[in-house]
Chains A and B, each alone.
Chain A
Amino acid sequence: MVDFLFNHPIGILILTVVKTLALLVPLLIGVAYMTYAERKIMAAMQMRKGPNVVGPFGLLQPFADAIKMLMKETIVPTGASRVLFLFAPMLTFMLAMIAWAVIPVNDGWAIADINVGILYLFAISSLGVYGVIIAGWASNSKYAFLGAMRSAAQMVSYEVSMGFVIVTVLLCVGSLNLTEIVRAQQTVWFAIPLFPMFVIFFISTLAETNRAPFDLPEGESELVAGFFVEYSSMSFALFFLGEYANMILMSSLTVILFLGGWLPPIDIAPFNWIPGPIWFIAKICLCLFTFVWVRATFPRYRYDQLMRLGWKVFLPFSLVWLVLTAAVLKLTGWLPA
């Protein structure tokens, strides 16, 4: 049986499907409860109650929302490009899911532990912009198109500094493999020696996922709902799910690059009793809480300030820090072989 699962092609296929389900089902439940958690946390921060009617403490609210979405009618505008209009939300959702193939939840617990894991993640996250652009263009609506254009410019701008941050981390690791990146943080998490990069990376992930204070693509005060203004029912829900899954993905990327993945903060008795995946999930939750916290705290950026921050502040700073890190590693001889 074990031999069949690990060596026969069909066995490997079955095993991969089971692994994928074991990852995606908890992920989707997590996405559903992320929406609930966001509403509850924001409510607490604004001295409201938040959802509290459906089920105890409103815990069944995500399911009520999902069923409501399923029951609604899918509306495709007359002027829309039909195929692309329906394809865009699927693409957003698909990209948010396939990226999880390489995320190591524990040592060796990745569906595909590939050599270029970090590049794969970077590639997938840079594709996210297509869902937005295609949706904006296919809707054939001014608001949607303006939102899409903003998003395209914004996501491309912040990817550049994100790339430099990732390169800085890779310099300290010497490998593109995500598992290796976490293992390299056994002595110290990269958030401590590379603290400025950690901050830049976190802010860039906010921009990359179109979250407040960088949610200009969907800025409701001027663009109604931005690129998904024309969407309804499940196609809207797919965008929504994709956005939240992307938030969780970006948080896990932050955790892997800077917060030591599945590693406990200190490798001593009470901490290393707790299994790795619990640490991993706890750290992701911490990042997600910060996402919501930022949204409840900061007003939206003005568009030119957003571009200024990306190109004139983050880009030069991360470039200088990259050179600095390389120089320090070279001079101290800490450069990994």
Chain B
Amino acid sequence: MIAALAFYVFAAILIASAVMVVTSRNPVYSVLFLILAFFNAAGLFLLAGAEFLAMILVIVYVGAVAVLFLFVVMMLDIDFTQLREGFQRYAPIGAIIGAILLIELLMVVTTWRFAPEAMTLRLNPMPAGVTNAEALGRILYTDYIYLFQACGLILLVAMIGAIVLTLRERPGTRRQNVGEQIARSGSVALRSVPQGAGLKVIGIERPPSPEEAKPKEVEYHGHGGHH
């Protein structure tokens, strides 16, 4: 009873916030609604008994990916009138693409059949007495190890690509080399000064202080200034 209620609450908020992501005018609000949608998806995972996936969804998507989204969207200077300019011109094409996708989805949903093995698996997806994370790990690192490694390689390639695209050598910048600074001796040295001793006592002469600067002769003092 409570689980069903929770399911409908999560599902309703998920769909509502997903709609808000698309329709909201301000992109920052869109991202925030996207985060709300992620949260509700995590809630649905929890209800399905997949607590590991729920937590990973929150950590990876909400904690890292959406932060960067938000970061970028907030930095963008978006002109809303310009965004809506071509709406009428592109509306028919958009409608056609949307209709095709809808028909495809309908075709998939109406002809969908569960394999008989899948039906029994769906009732009991996890071996008994094993936590969620362990069950996932057992499958991922044994049966699907090559696919898993391939995923890692794809991510690595994407990462290197991003670095190559954004890395540029700027001439004339002077980078700090911390190791070099720490290893340097001679020009800068730390001294332990006994407490209460003046600098003269330990043999450090200060440069003579410059002559007191004479106050400028001002003829007119105005309103008196500060005191």
A residues near B, CB below 8 A? 9, 84, 114-116, 119-120, 122-123, 126-127, 129-130, 133-134, 137, 145, 148-149, 152-153, 155-156, 159, 175-176, 304-305, 308
Contacts and interface: CB of A to CB of B under 8 A. Distances in A.
B151 interface: no
A55 to B, nearest CB: 36
Given A115-B131, A116-B132, A152-B67, A126 B74 contact: no
A114 B51 contact: yes
A84 B29 CA distance: 10
Given A116-B52, A119-B52, A119-B56, A127 B63 contact: yes
Contacts of A145: 74
A304 B177 CA distance: 12
B132 A119 contact: no
Secondary structure type dominating chain B contacts: helix
B20 interface: no
Interface size class of B (residues with CB under 8 A): 20 to 34
Contact of B67 (A116, A123, A156): A156
Given A115-B132, A126-B59, A133 B52 contact: no
Interface string B84-122: 000000000000000000000000000000000000000
Secondary structure type dominating chain A contacts: helix
Given A122-B63, A127-B63, A130-B70, 17 more contacts: A115-B132, A119-B55, A119-B56, A123-B55, A123-B59, A123-B63, A126-B59, A127-B58, A130-B35, A137-B28, A149-B71, A152-B67, A159-B63, A175-B131, A176-B131, A176-B133, A308-B178
B63 A116 contact: no
A9 B2 CA distance: 10
A159 B59 CA distance: 10
B34 interface: no
B66 to A, nearest CB: 9
Contacts of B41: none
10 contacts: A116-B55, A123-B58, A130-B35, A133-B70, A133-B71, A149-B75, A152-B71, A156-B67, A156-B68, A304-B176
A290 to B, nearest CB: 24
B64 interface: yes
Nearest to B54: A116
B33 to A, nearest CB: 12
A332 to B, nearest CB: 21
In the A-B complex, list the 7 residue pairs whose CB atoms are closest, starting with the nearest. A126-B63, A119-B55, A123-B58, A123-B59, A115-B131, A116-B51, A116-B55
A127 B55 CA distance: 12
Contact of B74 (A120, A130, A133, A153): A133
